[in-house]
Structures are given as structure tokens and as C-alpha cells.
Amino acid sequence: MAAVTIEQAVRTMLTAGATLSNSPVPVPDTRVTHGYRLQDSVLPAVTYTVDTREDGTIAGETQISQVTVTSIAETSEDALVLAEKVRNALVKGTYNSIPFDAVMVTSGGLQPEVVGLSDEQEPSQAVTQATIYWRP
């Protein structure tokens, strides 16, 4: 059996309970994906990456990971509402048997609007960054 990864545990944290699915901008669990979303997929959606993994203690009992979560929606207002729900979902606990001892939101904000082909506007994105202290 393969070991549970920090990436799987982060997804479990984001989809735990009904924080995102019962939001005013609802995101079903199937639209919470690691790394990217397909360009023509249904919105709103949430993507996440685990950017770093470092030893937090000399013996490596604690790991520190930087995580980026992107809330993607049709409008800037919806992306910001969703980002607030993402921040509410970033909480300490045990996910897939991996204890998250502390989860701290370190930054967040709306990304600049991007114009697509012709006069189309790309979806709005709000990025939330967090630091997770966890034990493997």
C-alpha cells in the first residue's frame, strides 16, 4: 500500500466538512484539484500545490510545507468569496492520518485580471498561501 502524501492530506483538509461545497460560491469536492484545472472545466474551482517540504526539527519529526491555494471563479467578487471559504478550511487537524499541528495563512489576494483571446476575459483568481507544520 502506498504511503499517504502531504498533497493528499491537503486535499482532504480542503474538502473536509462542507466549507467549500456549501459556500455562496459552491465548489464540489470533484473541483478541488492538485496542480491545475482544465481550461474548459466548470467554475468555480479550487487548485492547490505544495510548494516546499522542509525539516522543521533536527530529527525531522516535524515538517514545514508552504502551500498555495487558488480560488478560481467567473468574477473577482466570487473569487474573493471563495478565497475566504478556503481560508476557513485551512485548519489544524489530522487528515489522512497526517497530523497538521499548525496551519497559518501567510498571504492572499486577488490576481490581476487577464484578457484572453479576442475580447474574452479569463476567470478571476484569488491566491491564498499558507504554512503547514505537520508530522509524517
Q: What is the pLDDT of residue 12?
A: 97
Domains annotated for the chain, with CATH where assigned, are 6-134 (3.30.70)
Helices (runs of H) and strands (runs of E) counted in the chain = 2, 7
Q: What is the pLDDT of residue 2?
A: 63
Residue 62 · residue 107 · CB < 8 Å: no
pLDDT in tens, the chain (136 residues): 567 899 999 999 999 988 899 889 999 999 999 998 887 889 999 999 999 999 887 777 999 999 999 999 999 999 999 999 999 999 999 999 999 999 999 999 999 877 766 666 789 999 999 999 999 8
User: H or E segment at 77?
Assistant: helix 76-89
Residue 31 CB coordination number (10 Å): 19
d(CA 86, CA 124): 15
Cell representation of residue 82: 471563495
